[in-house]
Amino acid sequence: MNKYLILSEEVRAGMAKGLPIVALESTIISHGMPYPQNVAMAREVEQIIRDNGAVPATIAIVAGKIKIGLSDEELEMFGSSKGIAKVSRRDLADVIASQKLGATTVATTMIAAQLAGIKFFVTGGLGGVHRGWEHNLDISADLDELAQTGVAVICAGAKSILDLPATLEYLETKGVPVIGYQTQNLPAFFTRDSGLPLALSSDDLAHIAAMIKIKWELGLNGGIVVANPIPEQDALAPDYINGIIESAVKEAEEKGIKGKDITPFLLGKIVEISGGKSLEANIKLVKNNAKIGATLAVQYFNQQ
């Protein structure tokens, strides 16, 4: 194991037994949802992963180490403390060197998972190419991480706070498979269908598990996105939520919010304007991803 990693007892025991481990990110807790719903979500998602035969490993930076698996107290701390750093690839070494508390994004959770030998990672939504990239080149480091780091990411697509067509084009250029589970189109987080067709789609987790294995056995490095739409009964009406997203994006532009602050700002605004409706949907979709992600990880490890 890399000297900067510390495994929790649960993760260590799971690995010793040969159980599949499923990584979870901490930025979704510290910067993606308000307290205390964020902590409740984190605990429930971990339990769903256990209930489906895998071992959860929430990842974060604490005291100069990358922790693979957080304690209950640490989940509480990441959910309730102010001033936790949002750590992407660029920031990782600095936050470890300065012994700060750091929350891992999709990109850094993938990096940590790969260092720990974890192949599956469940989250809500990916970062992507931001709207207005023609003028301000904001492309999440998540996308280049998917191009190079061998972890399968189970998510509900990406939010339409992003330029979704550009995000898909970018992933295609980088050769990242985006496979729709029980959908032909890219899911748009709060809604099931962005209207953007995906090249890859399957209704069968055994097929997806086989495809992941073959990709890596061929030496095709890099990640895979398994795009799992929010359950029908939890999805928000497209006109309703897209209107809210438009006003949040407009406000971010007016306030000149940029760089790593923009995604947390937009997520917070959407919760505020929707009076918490978006938060409920967000929690539901993450739980659904946990169930599918753990099941997929189990199927992957049960293959010959």
Where along the sequence are the contacts to ligand PSU (CB under 6 A)? 25, 27-28, 32, 88, 105-106, 124-125, 127, 140-142, 159, 189, 260, 263, 267
Question: Would you tell me the crossing angle of helices 72-80 and 37-51 to the nearest 10 degrees?
Answer: 140
Specify the residue, 91 or 138, whose C-beta has the smaller distance to Mn ion: 138
How far from chain centre, in Å, is Cα 84? 18
> What DSSP state is assigned to residue 157?
B
The residue written with tokens 């190419």 in the block is 129
Residue 173 and residue 8: Cα distance in Å, rounded?
37
Which of ligand PSU, Mn ion, none binds 27 (CB below 5-8 Å, type-dependent)? ligand PSU
Which of ligand PSU, Mn ion, none binds 32 (CB below 5-8 Å, type-dependent)? ligand PSU
Specify the residue, 86 or 298, whose C-beta has the smaller distance to ligand PSU: 86
| 166 CB-contact burial (10 Å; exposed 0-12 / middle 13-18 / buried 19+) | middle
Minimum gap (Å) between residue 157 Cβ and ligand PSU? 10
Specify the residue, 95 or 267, whose C-beta has the smaller distance to ligand PSU: 267
Using only the alpha carbons of the chain, give its radius of gyration: 18
Q: Which residue is nearest to ligand PSU (CB)?
A: 32
91 binds Mn ion (CB under 5 A): no
**Which residue type, as a one-letter code, is found at position 128?**
G
Question: From the CB of residue 217, how many other CB atoms can be counted at a distance below 10 Å?
Answer: 8
258 among known catalytic residues: no
Minimum gap (Å) between residue 265 Cβ and Mn ion? 11
Specify the residue, 14 or 222, whose C-beta has the smaller distance to ligand PSU: 222
> What DSSP state is assigned to residue 128?
-
Which of ligand PSU, Mn ion, none binds 119 (CB below 5-8 Å, type-dependent)? none
Residue 41 and residue 242: Cα distance in Å, rounded?
24
One of 25, 46, 74, 76 is an active-site residue; which one?
25
Minimum gap (Å) between residue 263 Cβ and ligand PSU? 4
Reply yes or no: is the peptide bond before residue 36 cis, omega within 30 of 0. yes
Residue 34 and residue 11: Cα distance in Å, rounded?
27
Minimum gap (Å) between residue 141 Cβ and ligand PSU? 5
Give the containing element (helix H, strand E) for 268: helix 262-273
| Cα–Cα nearest to 120, from 110, 105, 129 | 110
Reply yes or no: is the peptide bond before residue 197 cis, omega within 30 of 0. no
Minimum gap (Å) between residue 28 Cβ and Mn ion? 16
Which of ligand PSU, Mn ion, none binds 177 (CB below 5-8 Å, type-dependent)? none
Specify the residue, 209 or 249, whose C-beta has the smaller distance to ligand PSU: 249
One of 159, 215, 284, 287 is an active-site residue; which one?
159
The residue written with tokens 């891992």 in the block is 104
Specify the residue, 219 or 259, whose C-beta has the smaller distance to Mn ion: 259
Q: Show the binding pattern over residues 126-165: x = contacts Mn ion (CB under 5 A), - = does not.
A: ------------x---------------------------
291 among known catalytic residues: no
Minimum gap (Å) between residue 42 Cβ and Mn ion? 23
The residue written with tokens 């991803």 in the block is 289
The catalytic site residues sit at: 25, 159
Judged by the rule CB under 5 A, the positions of this chain that interact with Mn ion are 138
